[in-house]
Amino acid sequence: MRRGVRLGVDAGSVRIGIARSDPAGILASPLETVRTGKGDIDRIIQLVAENEAVEVIVGLPTSLSGREGPAAGEARRLASRIARRLAADSVRLLDERLTTVSAESGLRERGVHGQARRKVVDQAAAAVLLQAALETERLTGRPPGEIVQGDT
């Protein structure tokens, strides 16, 4: 398992959830919600710097059949915009099927409802995504997902 903090990014049309791992790559935790739009990439890059992150994992929303729709295209564009500003090979896309569903379920089980849940569900989804990435790397010994180049 590679060492270093990683950030997980769950992109949405209104909000972008951000999660962070510990330096050992064992546990992902919700970090922040960034509003989609002007300044979103700047804030993500700032979070990468503040957390000394070595990698950013961006969720790629696909259908249950594995097809990519408009949301996946938006996630790919976001990942590319992030990659343009970071070191080569430090941004990856990872299939995020059902991360928001898992996050919603977990928050409901903990008694977080209504507006309180809406405020943190994107962060929780990013944490679910990042935790899956960490566990995949731990099991396979290889970084998960596909590398994003900044020029796509």
Q: What is the pTM of this model?
A: 0.87
Q: Give the range of the structural domain holding residue 35, as residue numbers without chain letter.
A: 6-147
CATH number of the domain encompassing residue 13: 3.30.420.140
Over its C-alpha atoms, the chain yields an Rg (Å, rounded) of 14
What percent helix, strand, coil does the chain show, rounded to 5?
A: 40, 25, 35
What is the pLDDT at residue 69?
85
Helix locations, the chain, DSSP H: 40-50, 70-83, 99-109, 114-140
**Cα distance between residue 118 and residue 121, in whole Å:** 5
**Cα distance between residue 16 and residue 44, in whole Å:** 9
Q: What is the pLDDT of residues 19-28, one digit of tens each?
A: 999 999 999 9
Residue 107 forms part of a structural domain: yes
pLDDT averaged over 10-residue windows placed end to end, the chain, 152 residues: 95 94 97 96 98 97 82 95 95 80 63 63 92 94 92 57
Residue 1 forms part of a structural domain: no
Q: Quote the mean pLDDT of the chain.
A: 88
